[in-house]
């Protein structure tokens, strides 16, 4: 049965949904890119401020014109990968986008050279709107290679790091595991069996973890070969591109400085005791002497099992945003009203959830599989936070100023989750319900701020080891993972021995050209907790501040955005503020005992 209101309407993205017309639009996109190339290739070095602004405006107009058709193809495929028309259109869109990428690759390279020769352009009032965009570009120029070299690297990556990434994900998704459920032996793929992490049956959780990680450990040769190649490739690219540290590339991409991340990670290290306090408290709530690894994010056994219909979830989420600000609440409601959310559960649909900004439509599209659980309400609130970000950003910025680094990209979404928490807490009827809500917030916080920090330490230790000439076989990598993990968890958790293979299944470690994907999550989590603390203190006066921050897109650096709120993100004192908010949630949970 299809509940129409749970299925998104993609028609507004294109003039006509006729596949032939969509294909035609894709072809015109490639032709337009070629035209831009003809007009500007090799001519950028002679541009003055006005000419450069015209070029950037052409680039922005290009992305606005073709954003809809690209989204249409990609989203239709995400909604149902078994639908032939979607498969064909998605494939056509990917091929077209690769051609566009190749045709327009010269822009950044040539504008970069121009800025290097004439740095004063960055400050030119004619280019005021693009100032931070140009600043970011200038920061990346010293690490760019020639156009020929960049093209060779694209080819090298395709059969190198990208192939390792593909092997890891294909291998993982095709593993199956045998597990006894209610007396019956079942063979389940990885994607299904990990669902038991959230089961209320503790023994089932234990068995599921045991069988999965034992199985993954058997393929240690594959995982280790992949991670070794991806990390070694990164170090060699760092040398070639003259990045001083393995983290530099990601710092530039995320528009943050080393000092900021150092302060952030030091704050985490100094507060592992706070997280461990929560883990001990959770053990008490679960009625166990000590948490096992399969309890860390499991639901509390006494948590009430409450279901939320699509309608009920809509009401909670819309009201939560509306309570914060009428305009934001209105936009969130519009996302439902105009059917911009695909919530229906169906075969062939991409797992997980995401939000795609639709800049030209000053809106967004969201995909999730809505199963009527509290977690689904939170996912909805999270993704709608991204949507709100897009509503604000697309009204205030040009597309070039909406290339938001991961540190800021998660602000609206995590803040939205806190608004829902606040609302659910105020309506909680029993102590158990209140405990379930608080434990959920703290579980998420613990994972994003602390567990992900272990991954930062782990990744760094991989590069250190390679540089020292250590050969990374499976067992060696596992030792590094457990060392990083124990730095965070101390002795508060009993780990199954097979959990040393936990690193094998995290796709991010293997993603090509996506090193240190991790610390932005730590940043965002603590940053939003700090913002939330400010909201508690300033109430209504805080609302326009958050809206300004989101509306700024990438037109300012995270450091400047925070400075406007009176924060200095390079100092540990700021990050303490986020920890203080976590402490308040832990105190509130403790008070329920």
* Least Å from the CB of residue 507 to Zn ion: 16
* Least Å from the CB of residue 394 to Zn ion: 17
Q: What are phi and psi of 26, to 5 degrees?
A: -65, -40
Count of positions on this chain that bind Zn ion (CB under 5 A): 1
* Least Å from the CB of residue 590 to Zn ion: 29
* Cα separations in angstroms, 249 against 246, 261, 298, 510, 537: 7, 13, 35, 16, 37
Q: What is the 3-state secondary structure (H, E, C) of 42-101?
A: CCHHHCCHHHHHHHHHHHHHHHHHHHHHHHHHHHHHHHCCCCHHHHHHHHHHHHHHHHHH
Complex with Zn ion: residue 246 or 416, whichever CB lies closer: 416
**DSSP line for 443-460:** HHHIIIIIIHHHHHHHHH
* Pairing mode, strands 291-292 and 493-494: parallel
Percent helix, percent strand, percent coil in the chain, to nearest 5: 75, 5, 20
- The answer to whether 375 and 393 are in contact (CB under 8 A) is no
Distance, first Cα to last Cα, the chain: 44
* Cα separations in angstroms, 220 against 172, 466, 472, 498, 515: 12, 18, 11, 12, 21
* Least Å from the CB of residue 493 to Zn ion: 26
Residues 22-81 that bind Zn ion (CB under 5 A): none
Complex with Zn ion: residue 19 or 375, whichever CB lies closer: 375
Complex with Zn ion: residue 285 or 404, whichever CB lies closer: 404
Q: Which residues of 309-325 are buried (b: 16+ CB within 10 A; e: fewer)?
A: ebeebbebbbbbbbebb
Complex with Zn ion: residue 291 or 388, whichever CB lies closer: 388
Complex with Zn ion: residue 474 or 558, whichever CB lies closer: 558
* Least Å from the CB of residue 446 to Zn ion: 17
Q: Which residues of 20-29 are buried (b: 16+ CB within 10 A; e: fewer)?
A: eebbebbeeb
String marking each residue 91-110 x if it binds Zn ion according to CB under 5 A: --------------------
Strand order of the β-sheet with 341-342 is 341-342, 363-367, 354-358
- The answer to whether 78 and 350 are in contact (CB under 8 A) is yes
Complex with Zn ion: residue 368 or 453, whichever CB lies closer: 368
Complex with Zn ion: residue 146 or 351, whichever CB lies closer: 351
* Least Å from the CB of residue 413 to Zn ion: 4
**What DSSP state is assigned to residue 5?**
G
Residues 385-414 that bind Zn ion (CB under 5 A): 413
How far is residue 20's CA from residue 26's CA, in Å, rounded to a whole number?
A: 10
* Least Å from the CB of residue 357 to Zn ion: 12
CB atoms within 10 A of CB 307: 11
* Least Å from the CB of residue 264 to Zn ion: 18
356 binds Zn ion (CB under 5 A): no
* Least Å from the CB of residue 439 to Zn ion: 21
Can you give the C-alpha Rg of the chain in angstroms?
24
* Least Å from the CB of residue 410 to Zn ion: 5
Complex with Zn ion: residue 413 or 421, whichever CB lies closer: 413
String marking each residue 407-446 x if it binds Zn ion according to CB under 5 A: ------x---------------------------------
Q: What is the 3-state secondary structure (H, E, C) of 183-218?
A: CEEEEEEHHHHHHHHHCCCHHHHHHHHHHHHHHHHH
Please identify the residue of the shown chain whose CB is closest to the bound Zn ion: 413
* Least Å from the CB of residue 382 to Zn ion: 6
Complex with Zn ion: residue 246 or 393, whichever CB lies closer: 393
- The answer to whether 565 and 534 are in contact (CB under 8 A) is yes
Complex with Zn ion: residue 414 or 477, whichever CB lies closer: 414
How far is residue 548's CA from residue 569's CA, in Å, rounded to a whole number?
A: 18
Complex with Zn ion: residue 356 or 413, whichever CB lies closer: 413
Complex with Zn ion: residue 293 or 444, whichever CB lies closer: 444
* Least Å from the CB of residue 301 to Zn ion: 29
Note the residues at the interface with Zn ion (CB under 5 A).
413
């Amino acid at each position: 049965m299809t509940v129409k209101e749970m299925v998104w309407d993609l028609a507004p993205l294109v003039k006509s949904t006729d596949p032939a017309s969509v294909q035609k639009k894709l072809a015109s996109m490639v032709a337009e890119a070629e035209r831009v190339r003809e007009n500007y290739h090799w001519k950028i070095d002679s541009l003055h401020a006005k000419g450069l602004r015209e070029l950037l405006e052409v680039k922005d107009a290009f992305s606005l014109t073709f954003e809809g058709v690209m989204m249409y193809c990609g989203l239709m495929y995400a909604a149902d990968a078994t639908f032939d028309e979607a498969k064909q259109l998605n494939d056509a869109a990917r091929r077209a986008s690769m051609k566009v990428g190749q045709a327009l690759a010269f822009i950044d390279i040539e504008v970069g050279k121009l800025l290097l020769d004439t740095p004063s352009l960055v400050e030119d009032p004619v280019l005021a709107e693009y100032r931070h965009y140009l600043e970011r570009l200038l920061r990346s120029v010293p690490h760019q290679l020639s156009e020929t070299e960049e093209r060779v690297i694209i080819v090298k990556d395709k059969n190198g790091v990208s192939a390792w990434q593909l092997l890891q994900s294909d291998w993982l998704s095709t593993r199956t595991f045998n597990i006894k459920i209610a007396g019956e032996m079942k063979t389940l793929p990885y994607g299904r069996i990990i669902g038991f992490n959230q089961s209320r049956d503790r023994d089932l959780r234990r068995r599921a973890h045991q069988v999965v990680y034992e199985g993954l450990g058997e393929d240690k040769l594959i995982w280790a070969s992949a991670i070794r190649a991806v990390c070694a490739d990164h170090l060699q690219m760092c040398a070639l591109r003259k990045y001083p540290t393995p983290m530099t590339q990601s710092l530039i991409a995320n528009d943050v400085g080393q000092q900021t991340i150092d302060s952030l990670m030091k704050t985490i290290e100094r507060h592992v005791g706070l997280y461990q306090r929560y883990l001990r408290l959770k053990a008490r709530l679960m009625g166990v002497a000590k948490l096992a690894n399969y309890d860390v994010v499991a639901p509390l056994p006494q948590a009430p099992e409450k279901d939320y219909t699509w309608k009920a979830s809509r009401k909670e989420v819309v009201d939560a945003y509306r309570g914060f600000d009428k305009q934001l609440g209105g936009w969130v409601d519009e996302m439902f009203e105009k059917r911009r959310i695909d919530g229906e559960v169906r075969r062939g649909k991409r797992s997980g959830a995401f939000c795609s900004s639709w800049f030209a439509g000053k809106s967004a599209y969201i995909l999730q599989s809505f199963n009527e659980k509290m977690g689904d309400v939170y996912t909805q609130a999270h993704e709608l936070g991204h949507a709100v970000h897009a509503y604000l950003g697309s009204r205030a910025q040009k597309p070039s100023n909406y290339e938001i680094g991961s540190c800021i990209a998660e602000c609206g979404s995590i803040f939205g989750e806190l608004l829902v928490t606040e609302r659910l807490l105020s309506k909680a009827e029993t102590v158990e319900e209140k405990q379930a809500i608080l434990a959920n917030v703290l579980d998420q916080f613990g994972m994003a701020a602390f567990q992900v920090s272990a991954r930062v330490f782990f990744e760094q230790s991989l590069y250190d080891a390679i540089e020292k000439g250590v050969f990374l076989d499976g067992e060696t990598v596992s030792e590094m993972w457990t060392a990083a993990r124990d730095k965070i968890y101390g002795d508060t958790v009993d780990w199954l021995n097979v959990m040393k293979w936990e690193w094998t299944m995290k796709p991010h470690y293997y993603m090509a050209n996506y090193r240190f994907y991790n610390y932005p999550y730590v940043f965002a989590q603590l940053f939003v907790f700090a913002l939330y603390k400010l909201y508690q203190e300033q109430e209504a006066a805080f609302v326009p501040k958050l809206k300004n921050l989101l509306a700024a897109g990438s037109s300012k650096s995270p450091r400047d955005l925070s400075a406007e709120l009176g924060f200095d993100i390079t100092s540990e004192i700021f990050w303490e503020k986020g920890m203080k908010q976590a402490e308040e949630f832990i105190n509130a949970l403790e008070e329920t005992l």
